[in-house]
């Protein structure tokens, strides 16, 4: 299995989305995503057609072996390779469809699209219809956060203390608004609520506050 290639790009084709990387005198043709292609340097040629200089680059690869062909796919980052491997686990998604999706989405944007169940955006990838996009969301919604913790878009679970604090603030505001409707000023309400038990319901807070207001 070829995992990475380190070499110089001797040929690239935007239309066909492939590059040729020469490593130790051997040229490897790789199908790449539009995002990877955009991140790679464009080869420069001499008048005779030879590659002039060239920046040495590294790409991650995936080798797909079929009965009648062997194809190499290239990725500029390990995250993109890992996203590709996840996509081809989805029923009905082969390497071609996976590359199409990753040409439209970076791994981070794909994680967001899956987490938000944005099948419409995913289906915009050439060759990927609505049903396939729905399967991508269904089958990867739990896998993507585990594979890419840094891309996890699920809501952060607040601590019980933080949840109680938020609930107390909501109850306090509701009680203040109710007392204001009765004609009491904000300063009167604030003074009356100084010794009120906030563990009670909104109704209890209002009742205790009214009792304090009526004493003044």
What integer pLDDT is reported at residue 97 of this predicted model? 95
- Strands 4-13 vs 70-75: parallel, antiparallel or unpaired: unpaired
Q: How many residues does the chain have?
A: 216
DSSP H helical ranges for the chain: 34-39, 78-87, 95-104, 107-115, 119-122, 130-140, 143-147, 160-181, 186-192, 202-215
CATH fold, domain 4-75, is: OB fold (Dihydrolipoamide Acetyltransferase, E2P) (2.40.50)
What integer pLDDT is reported at residue 188 of this predicted model? 84
Residue 142 to residue 115: CA distance in whole angstroms = 9
In this predicted model, what pLDDT tens digit does every residue of 122-169 receive, in sequence order? Answer: 999 999 999 999 999 999 988 877 777 766 555 445 556 656 666 777
Domain residue spans of the chain: 4-75, 78-151, 160-215
Higher pLDDT, 24 or 87: 87
Q: Which of 85, 24, 38, 41 is nearest to 60 (CA)?
A: 85
Q: Which residues contact 69 (CB under 8 A, 6 or more apart)?
A: none
Residue 137 to residue 122: CA distance in whole angstroms = 9
Higher pLDDT, 51 or 203: 203
In this predicted model, what pLDDT tens digit does every residue of 100-115 receive, in sequence order? Answer: 999 999 998 998 899 8
What integer pLDDT is reported at residue 141 of this predicted model? 87
Q: Which of 148, 58, 43 is nearest to 106 (CA)?
A: 148
**What is the percent of the chain where pLDDT is above 90?**
39
pLDDT bin (cut points 50, 70, 90) of residue 43 is: confident
Residue 46 to residue 52: CA distance in whole angstroms = 6
CATH class of 78-151: mainly alpha
Residue 203 to residue 182: CA distance in whole angstroms = 14
Given a cut of 70, is residue 99 above it in pLDDT?
yes
From the DSSP assignment, how many helices (H) and strands (E) are in the chain?
Answer: 10, 5
Distance of CA 15 to the CA centre of its chain: 27
When mean pLDDT is compared across 46-55, 61-70, 78-87, 170-179, the lowest value belongs to: 46-55
Helix (H, G, I), strand (E, B) or coil at 36: helix
What integer pLDDT is reported at residue 52 of this predicted model? 63
Write down the mean pLDDT value for the chain: 84
In this predicted model, what pLDDT tens digit does every residue of 58-77 receive, in sequence order? Answer: 999 999 988 788 899 999 99
């Amino acid at each position: 299995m070829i995992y990475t290639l380190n070499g110089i790009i001797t040929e690239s084709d935007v239309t066909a989305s492939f590059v040729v990387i020469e490593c130790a005198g051997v040229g490897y043709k790789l199908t790449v995503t539009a995002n990877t292609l955009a991140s790679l340097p464009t080869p420069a040629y001499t008048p005779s057609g030879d590659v002039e200089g060239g920046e040495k680059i590294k790409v991650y690869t995936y080798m797909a072996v079929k009965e009648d062909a062997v194809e190499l796919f290239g990725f500029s980052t390990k995250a993109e390779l890992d996203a590709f491997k996840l996509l081809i686990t989805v029923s009905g998604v082969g390497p071609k469809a996976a590359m199409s999706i990753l040409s439209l989405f970076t791994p981070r944007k794909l994680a967001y699209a899956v987490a938000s169940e944005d099948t419409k955006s995913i289906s915009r990838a050439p060759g990927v219809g609505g049903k396939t996009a729905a399967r991508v969301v269904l089958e990867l919604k739990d896998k993507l956060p585990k594979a890419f913790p840094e891309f996890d878009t699920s809501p952060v679970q607040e601590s019980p203390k933080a949840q109680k604090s938020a609930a107390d603030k909501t109850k306090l505001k509701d009680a203040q608004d109710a007392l204001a409707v009765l004609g009491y000023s904000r300063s009167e309400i604030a003074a009356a609520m100084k010794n009120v038990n906030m563990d009670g319901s909104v109704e209890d807070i209002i009742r205790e506050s009214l009792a304090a207001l009526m004493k003044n």
